[in-house]
Amino acid sequence: MFKAVILDKDGDKLSASVKEIDDATLAANTADADVVIDVEYSTINYKDGLAISRGAPVVRRWPMVPGIDLAGTVRESGSEEFPVGSKVVLNGWGVGEGHWGGLAQRARLKSDWLIPLPAAITPRQAMAIGTAGYTAMLCVMQLERFGVRPQDGAVLVTGAAGGVGSVATALLSGRGYEVAASTGRLEEADYLRELGAVEVLDRAALAAQGKPLQREHWAGVVDSVGSYTLANACAQTRYRGTVVACGLAQGMDFPATVAPFILRGVRLIGVDSVMCPREDRLQAWENLARELPAEKLERITREIGLDEVVGAARDILSGKIRGRLVVDVNA
Ligand code: NDP
């Protein structure tokens, strides 16, 4: 038997609790998997918050074990690439949405979804990074792919005190960018400066409808917020600058005009971590293991146990979580 967070639905009523599960039940619910993993750490991302607190549309099958991320050790294997004892990381691929996920002491997954844990980091550090941090790296890679360089000027990070935002701030500052961090929690200004932000902005300045074209500020933007914030970020981006959009913490809408794109040649690039090809994942994790200093990662991380997951899911949706939450599933 092992412990797992189980989401279930009775009519319209959702339930989320920690339960004891046996291997046969796990196997029956993960028929297409070829690898069994002893999970060491998982994490709570915004999407896990949505799954645990609201169910649909993130959760597509019931009952479900949530958790879009995990790190652990292979216990049984039908894969030559990942023999028993291999340390692995999993992010996305619909795990915790349509396939039983990482907020459990054991998981059964397809080996195609796994990547080897980089040698320089521990399973706990991998989950301190999690999907939020790996997405932040994908965003940084896209900024650079589209030509944004540190000497081009300041880069804006929105939702800066959240998971994606905290890691993006640390990564960009590590690469030599001048980072302006936008946050609704100005009391976290010192935290954001410690991560490397040179300027901390009140998110209220970006949160409401603004003019289609505004004063040019940003060479690049990493946006995890969407809605008016993304529209204003585009309107403030410099000629031929790049805006990378990955999130919807303010809203899924995009109430913008085409003016920044057709008059300033601004590029708007989307980032998806869930189905991201393996080559980009491996590159992102290699970069993360090399670039993210252990002390900065520890600074953004708080650890909880499985029993605290349901409360933490509510908190992340109300924007109360600073940085990243790691879940020690064996605590
Ligand atoms: P967090 O909750 O950790 O961070 C989100 C941050 O957004 C909050 O901390 C807050 O930052 C800000 N925020 C929250 N509510 C609002 C609001 N109403 N208006 C403006 N800002 C707000 O979540 P994550 O970092 O895990 O995820 C961030 C977003 O990115 C989510 O929408 C998530 O779904 C998305 N995401 C997308 C991925 C992809 O593959 N495309 C992968 C990972 C995440 P502050 O307090 O500093 O203002």
Pair 274, 181: CB distance under 8 Å = no
| pLDDT for the residue numbered 8 | 97
Q: Whose CA is nearest to atom 18 of ligand 1?
A: 250
Q: Between 3.30.565.10, 3.40.50.720, 3.30.1600.10, 3.30.365.10, what CATH number should domain 130-270 receive? A: 3.40.50.720
| pLDDT for the residue numbered 112 | 96
Q: Is the pLDDT of residue 216 over 90?
A: yes
Q: List every span in the chain annotated with CATH 3.40.50.720.
A: 130-270
Q: How far apart are alpha carbons 169 and 174 in whole angstroms? A: 8
Owner of token pair 């998110």: 203
Q: Measured from the CA of 166, which atom of ligand 1 is nearest?
A: 25
Surface-to-core class of residue 67, CB atoms within 10 Å of its CB (0-12 exposed, 13-18 middle, 19+ buried): buried
Q: How is the chain split among helix, strand and coil, in percent rounded to 5?
A: 35, 30, 35
Q: Is the pLDDT of residue 276 over 90?
A: yes
pLDDT tens digits, 291-309: 999 999 999 999 999 999 9
Confidence of residue 3 (pLDDT cuts 50, 70, 90): very high
Q: Whose CA is nearest to atom 31 of ligand 1?
A: 247
Pair 245, 226: CB distance under 8 Å = yes
pTM assigned to the model: 0.97
**Residues of the chain with pLDDT > 90: what percent?**
98
Looking at the structure, give the CATH architecture of the domain made up of residues 2-117+300-328.
Alpha-Beta Complex (3.90)
Q: How far is the CA of 20 from the centre of ligand 1 (A)?
A: 32
pLDDT tens digits, 22-57: 999 999 999 999 999 999 999 999 999 999 999 989
Distance from CA of residue 11 to its chain's centroid? 31
Q: List every span in the chain annotated with CATH 3.90.180.10.
A: 2-117+300-328
For a mutational test of ligand 1's pocket, the pick from 42, 44, 45, i.e. the residue with the most ligand atoms closer than 8 A to its C-beta, is: 45
Both tokens of 101, joined, read 């996920």
Determine if ligand 1 sits within 6 Å of the CB of residue 36: no
Q: Is the pLDDT of residue 12 over 90?
A: no
Q: Is the pLDDT of residue 268 over 90?
A: yes
Q: How far apart are alpha carbons 174 and 206 in whole angstroms? A: 25
pLDDT tens digits, 102-156: 999 999 999 999 999 999 999 999 999 999 999 999 999 999 999 999 999 999 9
Determine if ligand 1 sits within 6 Å of the CB of residue 312: no
Determine if ligand 1 sits within 6 Å of the CB of residue 128: no
Q: How far is the CA of 78 from the centre of ligand 1 (A)?
A: 37
